[in-house]
Amino acid sequence: MPQSIQIFDTTLRDGTQGEKVSFSAEDKFRIAQRLDQFGIHYIEGGWPGSNPKDMAFFDRVKGHKFKNAKIVAFGSTCRAGNHPEEDANLRALIDAQTPAVSIFGKSWLLHVKQALKISPEENLDIITGSISYLKKHGKEVIYDAEHFFDGFKDNPEYALKTLETAQKAGADVLVLCDTNGGTLTHDVSRIVADVVDKLKTPIGIHSHNDSELGVANALAAVAAGAVHVQGTINGYGERCGNANLCSVIPNLQLKMGYQCIPEKNMFQLSTLSHFVSELGNLVPDNKQPYVGKSAFAHKGGVHVSAVIKNEQTYEHIKPEAVGNTRRVLVSDLSGKSNVAYKSEELGFDFDKNSVASAEIVQELKKLENEGYQFEAAEASFELLVKQMTNQAPDFFKLEGFRVIMEQNGNGESRSEATIKVRVNDQIELSAAEGNGPVHALDAALRRALCEFYPEISSMKLQDYKVRVLNEKDGTEAKVRVLIDSAKDGESWGTVGVSENIIDASWKALSEGIIYFLMNQNSTPKQKPKSLTDEIDTPTSVGN
User: Are 105 and 84 within 8 A, CB to CB?
Assistant: no
Cα Rg, the chain, nearest whole Å: 27
Q: Is the pLDDT of residue 403 over 60?
A: yes
Give the strand order in the sheet containing 490-498: 460-468, 479-487, 490-498
| pLDDT exceeds cutoff 90 at 112 | yes
CATH class for domain 335-395+453-528? alpha beta
C-beta of residue 438 within 8 angstroms of C-beta of residue 430: no
CA angle 248, 250, 252 (to 5 degrees): 65
Say what the pLDDT of residue 342 is.
59
pLDDT band at 330 (very low <50, low <70, confident <90, very high): very low
Provide the residue type at 335 as one letter.
Answer: G
Residue 326: the pLDDT is 81
Instruction: Kindly report the three-state secondary structure assignment for every residue of 284-345.
Output: CCCCCCCCCCCCCEECCHHHHHHHHHCHHHCCCCCHHHHCCCCEECCCCCCCHHHHHHHHHH
Task: Compute the average pLDDT of residues 481-489.
Answer: 89
- CA dist., res. 238 & res. 208, Å (int): 8
What percentage of the chain reaches a pLDDT higher than 90?
69
Distance CA 89, CA 183 (A): 30
- The phi, psi pair for 128, rounded to 5°, reads -60, -50
Runs of H (alpha helix) within 2-119: 25-38, 52-61, 88-95, 109-110
Please, what sign has the CA dihedral across residues 383, 57, 231, 209?
positive
User: Cβ distance 512 to 379 under 8 Å?
Assistant: yes
Question: What spatial distance separates the first Cα and last Cα of the chain, rounded to whole Å?
Answer: 94
Nearest to 367 by CA among 513, 507, 270: 507
Identify the pLDDT of residue 201: 98
Does the domain at 6-279 match CATH 3.10.50.40? Answer given as no
d(CA 407, CA 415): 9
- The total of other beta-carbon atoms located within 10 Å of residue 365's CB is 13
Compute the C-alpha angle 363/368/369, nearest 5°: 95
Domain spanning 296-334 has what CATH number?
4.10.430
Q: pLDDT at position 476, please?
A: 75
Handedness of CA 147, 150, 151, 152 (dihedral sign): positive
Kindly tell me if the per-residue pLDDT of 90 is higher than 50.
Answer: yes
Q: pLDDT, tens digit, for every residue of 186-199?
A: 999 999 999 999 99
- The residues spanned by each domain of the chain are 6-279, 296-334, 335-395+453-528, 407-448
Mean pLDDT of 299-317: 72
Strands 490-498 and 479-487: antiparallel
Whether the CB-CB separation of 487 and 504 falls below 8 Å is answered with no
- pLDDT over 70, % of the chain: 89
Q: CA 142 to CA 206: how far, in whole Å?
A: 12
Least confident of 62-71, 104-113, 481-490: 481-490
Alpha-carbon dihedral sign for residues 166, 172, 176, 179? negative
Q: Answer yes or no: are the C-beta atoms of 116 and 151 closer than 8 Å.
A: no
Residue 498, beta-bridge partner list: 479
- Taking residue 529's Cβ as centre, other Cβ atoms within 10 Å add up to 9
Measured CA to CA, the distance from residue 430 to residue 435 in angstroms comes to 17
Q: Which of 396, 398, 416 is nearest to 406 (CA)?
A: 416
User: Is the pLDDT higher at 181 or at 303?
Assistant: 181
Span 358-378, average pLDDT: 81
* Whole-number pLDDT of residue 297: 80
pLDDT tier for residue 346 given thresholds of 50, 70 and 90: low
CA 425 to chain centroid: 42
**Out of 240-254, 314-328, 433-447, which region has the weakest mean confidence (pLDDT)?**
314-328
As a whole number, mean pLDDT of residues 62-81 equals 94
- pLDDT of residue 103 exceeding 60: yes
Average pLDDT over residues 249-276: 97
Residue range 169-177: average pLDDT?
98
